[in-house]
Amino acid sequence: MKVVVIDNMEWDGAKISDGDFQDNQMSWCVSTLRKSMDTIKTEIEIDAKNDIFKDEDVHCFLINVHCAIYRLKDKTNYERVTTYQAQAGVDIYRELLHLYRECSEKLRVVFFSPYADKPELLFHKKPENLILKHLEYLQVPFTWKQVQDKFEQYNKPVFNNASENLLSGYSLYHNQHPINSKVSTGKKKILFIDDQSNEWKAVFNEMFHEDVIEHLPYSNQEEFRQNLANGQVEKNVKSKLAQCHLVLSDFYLNENHDPGKWMNRENIEKISGFDLFHSIRATDKGKAIPYIMHTSSNKISYYKVFDQNGVDDWLVKDVRPNVTSNEKLDNYILFKQTIESIFSPKIYSTYKKMQDLWENIQKVKNVTDVRWWYSPQYNAELLVPVFDEDGYLDKMVFAPVNDYRSDHSNFTKNDIVSILESSWYAIRRQINKEIKYEGSNRSKEAERFLATSICNNLGKIVEYLGIKSGARDFSYLTNFLLQIRNSASHSRDFEYFELNDVFIYLDYFVYVLLDFKTLKDFQDAFKDDYIVSKINKNNNRREFNFPCNLLWLYIQFYNHNGSKLLPEVRKNLLRKRIDQLFQKALGDSSLKMVWSIRTNIPANNFKIKKWYNRTFIPKDSVGNPTLNENSDGQYLKIFIPNSWQ
Amino acid sequence: MKILIVDNPYKDRGFSTELRNHAEIIIQNKNLEAIDFSQCQLIFKHDSFNVDLDSKLKSRIAFIKFSGGGALKNEILNESDGFKFKASIESPEQINSVLSVINKSEISKEDLEAILNYDSELEKLLTPFQSVLPLDSEWNKHKTETKEDLFQKGTDLRQYLNM
């Protein structure tokens, strides 16, 4: 096994097991004495890589951690520009990583130093050199036999410049922040896709908690690329999506990294990592999973293409061999913050809700049996099924509910699904956007614009179904669905809306379309009183506009029997929003006026007993009522009357 | 004036705010002549700033050249006081070291070493091993030191590191 030594001094005259070092065909020395890093790199490439190791499967380097680097001061004089304690031998290793970037598995490195028998003290002095923990190490003095044994029994992880730089950054961060220095994912898993996945394993083991990273089962770049070409990588990724919560994927999976190259949009979209991203997004399971592109490129135009196509974020692999410590630290902090921000409860729960919603919308899209809303009047003659070429029933034309002339609507199930999907995409665009430039007030305003416009558009489905306000058979549906739309349309309630209301509304829409097979099932579920209007005693007309209408709608919906059929996860969001809206409404003077109705109107008009059955008291996270006791010693309650006569 | 940063004016904002706030002036081309260098104790000079300051500086001034993109993140070449090496001011702790020096009446070699994260004792302990081959068989053949001497120096090094 051939060995190249990189040390401060020449090894001429040294006795090794087979005789003099310089006469041995199996060994060679690159002395760093009076040499700049450029000269050292050239010697390693020409003398070692291309000559000594020309026909070797493994390239073994024995490196002095304390090599010094020089520079030419004038025409003949050199001066040393690194100290021994600067550990420039590790910098030389980084140049080796660059030199072996396309064949890192060939590289074997053993460091030596007069420090202790374990290298901890070395990276304790220079945290950025944590790599010393992961490579072989010999304490000075040692025998040549020990060197040979180390190389022959070599079983150390492989790295590349990008992974080593990130490891350095992690170590520098850990040195400053020993607690919580790892990237926290809250036990959620990351699917890691990279043609050089092995080069990241040891680094990720340091940076993440146990079992966070899911690697693909390929042992090297060649095997990965073969499987990428025959479609196995794509299959493998898709099979793992359900168990993972984020995808971290290399951009150049099949192409060699070329930071100097510029590509136009068309070429960017042809790059293998982008191609794989598209095929994952095309699946239902991969529709909403957060996706981070991990790339050596830092070209803004590329990121713009990523962003426009729904890549959630991107992290730059710093592949330079001579990155400063500060840059490594900053890159690790960025990496950590990017991953952790996606796994923050608020943002990740949004991704989760989006994924669930998408899958439910697809159920609506793919349902093939006749649903109550195809023909609510149960008149088989009104059903006009339209089959596509495959006999797939996706063009069912339904009759409007209140269309007593029995004219068929021109709208199809696809039109409804289209609105549902468009609503989903509108929210998807909003997730994880940098909106700081808008300012907090403008940001909230922009979110309300989006939320209310989606709710307004969802209201079109009610029109498609032909359900009009006051339609007897659909009064409950009408009340809830139409009034959410109405609330979203008017200035009075506008300020109460946020994206979570769209989730509730959209989720409920999908629920009523999907979970009730017949009109009777639906009516049974909602047959109980569910009134969100009141009668104006002066003109005997129904009034729908309450202060903070959204809150009243939600409270009544939450109390209603029909909503009890909702899965708990859906009810939790509803409950949370009621709590939020209630706290907000506490400061609304007009809402207090509504409460005062309770005391101003004779009790017998309110069927008080029934009210109590419909009492809702907002509670805090530990279950205590969030309302103060009133003067009667009772908790102030919101009473939901059967009617507001 | 105790500290001076010599750089092109457009790089002003590249320096850390903390350091900039403590430097009393940043030289700009137009007012170079107006500076009273006799009051300077520590000077950082960007190597792209092509002005010969030698004639203006007195020997006691600590003079640190640096290169790269501002903020004192990049390599710094220390040319003062006889010890020559590259180092870098990268971390906030080192900036604090600079700040702690500012209020001293005189800046010593050790102050600069602290700024540059340079441990002269460690360097002294490491030096003998850089002129002897690391092979066990070679330690017996060393020109000036016995194997026992070298082992003792190794022990001294490790003791120092474990302190």
Q: Does the beta carbon of A22 lie under 8 angstroms from any beta carbon of chain B?
A: no
**Residue ranges of the alpha helices (H) in B15-118?**
17-22, 92-102, 109-115
Q: A182 φ, ψ to 5°?
A: -75, 160
Q: How many helices (H) and strands (E) does chain B have?
A: 6, 6
Q: How far is B36 from chain A (nearest CA, A)?
A: 31
**ipTM value for the complex:** 0.71
- How far apart CA A366 and CA A339 sit, in angstroms, is 34
Nearest to A142 among B85, B136, B161 (CB): B136
pLDDT at A268: 82
Nearest CA-CA distance, residue A434 and chain B, Å:
25
* Chain B residue numbers touching A10 (CB-CB < 8 A): none
**Which letter, b or e, does each residue of A82-110 get, where b requires 16 or more Cβ atoms within 10 Å of its Cβ?**
bbbbbbbbbbbbbbbbebbbeebbebbbb
**Of B134, B143, B74, residue with least CA distance to A66:** B134
pTM over 0.95: no
Record the tokens describing residue A67, joined without a space.
């090599």
Any idea how long chain A is? 645
The shortest CB-CB distance from A140 to any of B134, B137, B161 is to B134
CA dist., res. A539 & res. A381, Å (int): 42
Query: Please, what is the average pLDDT of chain B?
Result: 68
Task: Say what the pLDDT of residue A108 is.
Answer: 96
> At A6, which helix (H) or strand (E)?
strand A3-7
List all residues 6 or more positions away from A238 whose beta carbon is below 8 Å from its beta carbon: A280, A283, A285, A286
Query: Which chain B residues contact residue A125 at CB under 8 A?
Result: 122, 161
Q: Measured between CA atoms, how close is B85 to chain A, in angstroms?
A: 5
Residue B69, chain A, CB below 8 Å: the answer is: no
CA distances to A79, A477, A483, A533, A611 from A529, rounded to whole Å, are 91, 12, 16, 11, 12
Helix ranges (H only) for chain B are 17-22, 92-102, 109-115, 120-126, 136-139, 147-162
Nearest residue of B to residue A123 by CA position?
A: B161
Q: Is A31 on the interface with B (CB under 8 A)?
A: no
- The predicted structure's pLDDT at residue A263: 81
CA A200 to chain centre: 20
A84/B77 CB distance under 8 A:
no
Q: How far is CA A282 from the centre of its chain?
A: 17
Is residue B72 a contact partner of residue B3, using CB atoms and an 8 Å limit?
Answer: no
A486-495 b/e (C-beta count within 10 Å ≥ 16 → b): bbbeeeebbe
Residue A635, phi then psi, degrees to nearest 5: -70, 135
> Which residues between 100 and 159 in chain B have a beta carbon less than 8 angstroms from any beta carbon of chain A?
118-119, 122-123, 126-127, 129-131, 133-139, 150, 153-154, 157-158
Q: Which of B123, B133, B162 sits opposite A14 (nearest CB)?
A: B133
Do the Cβ atoms of A206 and A130 come closer than 8 Å? Answer: yes
Higher pLDDT, A588 or B73: A588
B27 or A637, greater pLDDT:
B27
Strand blocks (E) in B17-99: 25-27, 42-46, 62-66, 75-78, 85-88
| Ranges of chain A whose pLDDT falls below 50 | 375-384, 386, 388, 391-408, 435-438, 468-472, 528-535, 589-618, 625-645
Residues 6+ apart with CB under 8 A from B71: B14, B15, B16
The mean pLDDT value of chain A amounts to 78
Interchain CB distance below 8 Å, B73 and A66: no
**A26 phi and psi angles, rounded to 5 deg:** -95, 0
Is the CB of A327 less than 8 angstroms away from the CB of B73?
A: yes
Tell me which residue of A8, A338, A1, A231 sits closest to A140, measured CA to CA. A8
Token code pair at residue A94: 């980084």
H-helix or E-strand spanning residue A30: strand A27-31
Cβ–Cβ under 8 Å, residues B40 and B1: yes
The answer to whether residue B36 scores a pLDDT higher than 60 is yes
Alpha-carbon distances of A163 from A233, A294, A551, rounded to whole Å: 22, 11, 51
pLDDT at A258: 66
At A167 the pLDDT is: 97
Give the CA distances from residue A308 to residues A292, A294, A480, B36, in Å, rounded to whole numbers and listed in that order.
Answer: 14, 17, 35, 56
* B123/A85 touch (CB, cutoff 8 Å), yes or no: yes
Please report, as a single letter, which amino acid is at residue A338. T
* Chain CA centroid to CA A419, Å: 25
In this structure, how many other beta carbons lie within 10 angstroms of the beta carbon of residue B18? 12
Are the beta carbons of A85 and B118 separated by less than 8 Å?
A: yes
Return the biggest CA–CA distance within chain B: 64
Find out whether A526 and A559 touch, Cβ atoms under 8 Å: no
Residue B99 has pLDDT above 50, yes or no: yes
Yes or no: say if A111 and A137 are a contact pair by the CB < 8 Å rule. Answer: yes
Q: If you search the block for the tokens 């474990």, which residue do you land on? A: B162
| The two structure tokens encoding residue A601 | 């109107």
